[in-house]
Amino acid sequence: MAEEFEPKIVAFLCKWCSSAGSDLAGVSRMKYPPNVVPITVMCSGSVSPLYILSAFNQGADGVLVSGCHPGDCHYIEGNYYARRRIALVRKLLQYVGLEPQRFQMSWVSAAEGQKYTQVIQDFVDTLKPLGAQKKLRRKK
Amino acid sequence: MVNLEELKSEIKRVLGEGKVKYFIGYRRSTGGLPAAPFFMKETEDVERLIWDPTCIANLTRFLDDEKKRKARQKEPDTRPIGIIVKGCDSRAINVLLQEEFIKREDVYIVGVSCEHSGMVDEKKLAAKMKGKAVAQVDFAGKDNFAVTAADGEKTGIPAAEVLAGRCVECKVDYPVVRDVTFGEELARSPGNAFKSVEKIEAMSVAERWDFWKEQFDKCIRCYACRSVCPMCYCDECVVDTINFAVTAQTGAKEKAQKIKWIEKSPATSENFFYHMVRAMHLAGRCVDCGECERVCPVDIPLRFLNKKMEKEAKELFDYDVGMNPELPSLVSSFRDEDAEDFIR
């Protein structure tokens, strides 16, 4: 029997909310798919478009950027900048012909372990039928 | 109408008074139709100045070079640089002012209006003339060009047929920042400023991918687009590490630690990476002067990429590029009501 395709997701989680949220999911023993490679960044606003393109370049099937809810940013306004920048990256990725489902953004607070597991579960479910991301992947 | 004699006498006056270090304009090229950039230092030089629809180059790139040159000199000449700008070029100056890369007092700007038509596209003209060599192109009233062939034959051509892509979609064809203007300042009303982008947006995801793959696979990574762009002024560029300062003192460990984001070889994935990074870096900064597309040796329609970011800036964030140097730039500002319907 052929093995089912397991997508690889790179998740950029902000240190103050989303990373703590994923931590809460972990310590609460919540179950969610092990397809995520979490990368903690200081703020969602510090996620350069370069990181996202590089993740796809290195073979990620999906990229998630997650930060604090608007108004909750530890640095007051970092996630507002992120929101604007990520919107542009998303439009650009769609424009060059990448499946729009492969790139997502979410707000996950430190108390939303449940929401984090749900975001990951849904992301994995949408990526599975798409198959491996080969368009932007570097050929070894 | 721009009166060339008046333009010349103004530049002669400014040069004669010693107000500027030198003046950048256009002269007839010794090879090919498009006018060549022209650095005027003496008043006698000004006689060779031209202004016609072949003056397509964006001269503001030389302001970047001038700033870098000045930074290396011990006792730099601090007089301003005189420059001739079209509508699009003046917006590039606005963006440079907005980013405080240059100061307003460092440039003396002479604006010229594009006479309601615009600049001629060399390739479109060659196709229109069916290969006949062209010696000269002149403005001939609204929406018309007078073309003189190499054998002396004169023909009138409707401007719309040979206009450069950037001019077809131009919104403001007069200088928005200048010390003095020649020609009329009348805003034009293009049918649709984003027509080229919409054609690609209407495609399906797979079609879009195929379109861009075909285009980017042509790329030979000569970086001509980067070299000509007035906005690409960084000393170190993320896409090629030859720019990183490696001196005799740079140790092996330090060299090894430099992040290599991108391969130099022109593979599909790396070409996409390069062009997308460039598009992101130009988001909210690209003034659609179309120089990248013009200089591309393999004819990649780079304008479509940058125009898309301009369109999103306008539609999502109501941001007009290069119109107001006082406003913060696109990605260093936000509004509370920015769209977040894509975020869960």
Here the CATH number for the domain that contains residue A67 is 3.40.50
Task: Tell which residue, B224, B231, B254, has the closest CA to residue B241.
Answer: B254
For residue B47, give every residue at least 6 positions away whose Cβ sits within 8 Å of its Cβ, in sequence order, or none.
B8
Check residues B191 and B182 and name the one with the higher pLDDT.
B182
**Encoded amino acid at B106, one letter:** D
* Predicted pLDDT at B242: 56
Pairwise CA distance, residues A117 & A30, whole Å? 7
* Predicted pLDDT at B169: 87
pLDDT for residue B191 is more than 70: no
pLDDT in tens, B90-147: 999 999 999 999 999 999 999 998 877 889 998 899 898 888 888 889 988 778 899 9
H helices of chain B, where? 4-16, 61-72, 87-98, 122-128, 159-162, 165-168, 195-201, 205-217, 224-228, 252-257, 268-281, 291-295, 302-317
* A80, part of any domain: yes
* Predicted pLDDT at A135: 93
Pairwise CA distance, residues B166 & B293, whole Å? 10
Which of B212, B280, B344 comes nearest A49 by C-beta?
B280
Q: What is the mean pLDDT of residues B14-21?
A: 92
* B125, part of any domain: no
- Residue B55 sits in which domain range? 4-119+163-332
* A23, part of any domain: yes
* B285, part of any domain: yes
pLDDT in tens, A64-122: 999 999 999 999 999 999 999 999 999 999 999 999 999 999 999 999 999 999 999 99
Number of domains into which chain A is organized = 1
* A115, part of any domain: yes
* A137, part of any domain: no
B210 contacts in chain A (CB < 8 Å): 97
- Mapped onto helix, strand or coil, the DSSP state of residue B227 is helix
CB A15 within 8 A of CB A44: no
Across the interface, whether the CB atoms of B269 and A106 are under 8 A apart is answered no
* A135, part of any domain: no
Average pLDDT of chain A to the nearest whole number: 94
pLDDT in tens, B163-188: 898 888 888 878 889 899 888 876 66
Q: What is the mean pLDDT of residues B256-275?
A: 87
pTM for the structure as a whole: 0.92
* A71, part of any domain: yes
Number of domains into which chain B is organized = 1
| B272 in reach of chain A (CB within 8 A) | yes
Pairwise CA distance, residues B311 & B313, whole Å? 5
Cα-to-chain-centroid distance, residue B342: 33
Sign of CA dihedral B244, B250, B255, B257: negative
Structure-block tokens of residue B290: 């179309």
* A85, part of any domain: yes
Strand partners, A103: A63
CB B97 within 8 A of CB B325: yes
* B105, part of any domain: yes
Average pLDDT of chain B to the nearest whole number: 89
* A136, part of any domain: no
A100 contacts in chain B (CB < 8 Å): 205
* B33, part of any domain: yes
* Predicted pLDDT at B115: 78
Which of B207, B312, B343 comes nearest A106 by C-beta?
B343
pLDDT in tens, B50-66: 999 999 999 999 999 99
Task: Tell which residue, B128, B125, B137, B191, has the closest CA to residue B164.
Answer: B125
Cα-to-chain-centroid distance, residue B41: 24
Across the interface, whether the CB atoms of B269 and A87 are under 8 A apart is answered no
Could you give the ipTM of this predicted complex?
Answer: 0.94
Q: What is the mean pLDDT of residues B267-281?
A: 94
- What φ, ψ does residue A125 adopt, rounded to 5°? -65, -40
Least confident stretch, B159-168, B240-249, B252-261, B270-279? B240-249
- Residue A72 sits in which domain range? 9-130
